[in-house]
Amino acid sequence: MRTQVVIVGAGPSGLLLGQLLSVHGIANVILEQRSPEYVLDRIRAGVIEKWAADLLDDAGAGARMHREGLVHQGIEISFDGRRHRVDFDALVGKSVIVYGQAEITRDLMEARAAVGAETYYEIADVSLQLDQPGRSSVRYGRHGRVQEIQCDFIAGCDGFHGISRKSIPEHVLNCYERVYPFGWLGILVDQPPVSPELIYVNHERGFALCSMRSPTRSRLYLQCRLDDHIEDWPDARFYEELSRRLDPHAVGALHRGASIEKSIAPLRSFVAEPMRYGNLFLAGDAAHIVPPTGAKGLNLAASDVYYLWQALLEYYRERSAAGLEAYSSQALRRVWKAERFSWWMTSILHCFPESSGFDQKMQRAELEYLLSSRAAMTALAENYVGLPY
Ligand code: APR
Ligand code: PHB
């Protein structure tokens, strides 16, 4: 079997790249180790930058997002028990769309089915053959048999734990990492949001976030310890702790419904450089991870996909490899800016167990400056709505 691009992984990166390529006449096959149901069940952040929304439109998969997504023109930051609004519209004239990542995945799956492109789910033992310049292939197990696809290029869209990054020789890769000393305990609940916009909370007991998926579904988070277990957090304890961290007005609006999902996620910053090895191109979580503060994960995956899609179009239309040569450095410039923003948002909003008195004073000064300076708020807004591609 032969195709132009083999995409490993059917998460948002792989599906979006596949759809953009298919719509522009470039043949591709997606290989995914899990089932479609498993992929759809993963719960992740749901804030979409305008750039990522435009890309979904380019892929022909944006209609439902525009219909059902919630346009947010700001966020609130709660500090010292008071809420402060960051008005994106007034500061930078832009907004974001709140729309769950699982919904985006579903829309992309449907769009892919509509164009008749192939996705092989529940495949096993993917291995990449990268040794020969100009000739690549991917082997995998399907229905108990080993299969092989020849291709021009491989897109490694298989997330942080995938095999694509691990297929690059160690001496070629430089990895940069920070693991944070806390996690996020999140619940999903079928109750209206506490407030029309997201509330990011700095509190001495730890960070909290009131987010949402729709006018009737809330997503709520608490900073927790890395050794916490969800069994130790029945809903009543979750709501009690959240109420301690929220301002009285938000507590009054908190509906304590039964959670329909509960999980703990660790926080990590990670970047692997370069994002290309021969004919293999990494995109999304395969190459980098951001802590969720600022909701940049999906949006960064989208900008990688944009650069890679443009480079592949240039290659097939103009027979020029210039875009492919530039891919890694171009994508990484934007990756590091989003890494910086996510790290900074994390650092100003969380309680760090090891922090000294000086560190705590610095955090207070940072927040007091931010919330009293239009220039500083503009910088936050500019990054939150997304830096241009
Ligand atoms: N073979 C085939 N598929 C694999 C393999 C493998 N060896 N390893 C992992 N996968 C699949 C996973 O099952 C998953 O469906 O690759 C997919 C990777 O998807 P994500 O982890 O969602 O990564 P990505 O598509 O880059 O998404 C980026 O989604 O995970 C969030 O925070 C992330 O918001 C960001 C965005
Ligand atoms: C979410 O809704 O899950 C969410 C929103 C904003 C974030 C992180 C997560 O910064």
Active site residue 296: yes
- Give the Cα separation of 259 and 257 in Å (integer): 6
**Residue range 176-219, pLDDT digits in tens:** 999 999 999 999 999 999 999 999 999 999 999 999 999 999 99
> Relative to the alpha carbon of 263, which ligand is closest?
2
Task: List all residues 6 or more positions away from 37 whose beta carbon is below 8 Å from its beta carbon.
Answer: none
Q: Write out the H or E segment, with its range, that includes residue 34.
A: none
Per-chain mean pLDDT for the chain: 97
CA angle 211, 214, 217 (to 5 degrees): 70
Active site residue 384: yes
**What pLDDT score was predicted for residue 42?**
85
Segments of the chain with pLDDT less than 70: none
Please give the DSSP secondary-structure letter assigned to residue 190.
S
**What pLDDT score was predicted for residue 351?**
98
Locate tokens 């402060």: which residue? 84
Q: Write out the H or E segment, with its range, that includes residue 30.
A: strand 28-31
**Residue range 234-277, pLDDT digits in tens:** 999 999 999 999 999 999 999 999 999 999 999 999 999 999 99
Q: Which two tokens stand for residue 291?
A: 């802590």
In the set 203, 288, 296, 350, the catalytic residue is 296
**Pocket, ligand 1, Cβ cutoff 6 A:** 8-14, 31-34, 39, 44, 101, 126, 157-159, 161-163, 284-286, 297-298, 301
Q: How many whole angstroms from 100 Cα to the centroid of ligand 2? A: 9
In the set 140, 221, 292, 315, the catalytic residue is 292
**What pLDDT score was predicted for residue 308?**
98
pTM to 2 decimal places: 0.97
**What pLDDT score was predicted for residue 178?**
98
Q: Return the residue whose CA atom lies nearest to atom 6 of ligand 2.
A: 295
Please give the DSSP secondary-structure letter assigned to residue 150.
E
Q: Which of 301, 310, 305, 384 is nearest to 340 (CA)?
A: 384
**What pLDDT score was predicted for residue 131?**
74
**Residue range 128-148, pLDDT digits in tens:** 998 777 789 999 999 999 999
**What pLDDT score was predicted for residue 44?**
82
**Residue 160 in contact with residue 270, Cβ under 8 Å?**
yes
Q: Which of 10, 99, 6 is nearest to 284 (CA)?
A: 10
**What pLDDT score was predicted for residue 135?**
80
Residue ranges of the alpha helices (H) in the chain?
12-23, 36-41, 50-58, 63-68, 88-92, 101-115, 235-245, 248-253, 297-318, 322-349, 357-372, 374-384
Q: How far is CA 343 from CA 113, 270, 291, 348, in A?
A: 37, 11, 7, 9
**Residue 196 in contact with residue 98, Cβ under 8 Å?**
no
Given ligand 1 and candidates 16, 19, 31, 32, which is best to mutate, with the most ligand atoms within 8 Å of its CB?
32
**What pLDDT score was predicted for residue 43?**
80
Count Cβ atoms below 10 Å from residue 149 Cβ, excluding itself: 18
**Residue 129 in contact with residue 163, Cβ under 8 Å?**
no
CA angle 118, 123, 125 (to 5 degrees): 130
The answer, yes or no, to whether any atom of ligand 2 lies below 6 A from the CB of 295, is yes
SS3 252: helix
Task: List all residues 6 or more positions away from 162 whose beta carbon is below 8 Å from its beta carbon.
Answer: 8, 9, 156, 286
Q: Return the residue whose CA atom lies nearest to atom 5 of ligand 2.
A: 45
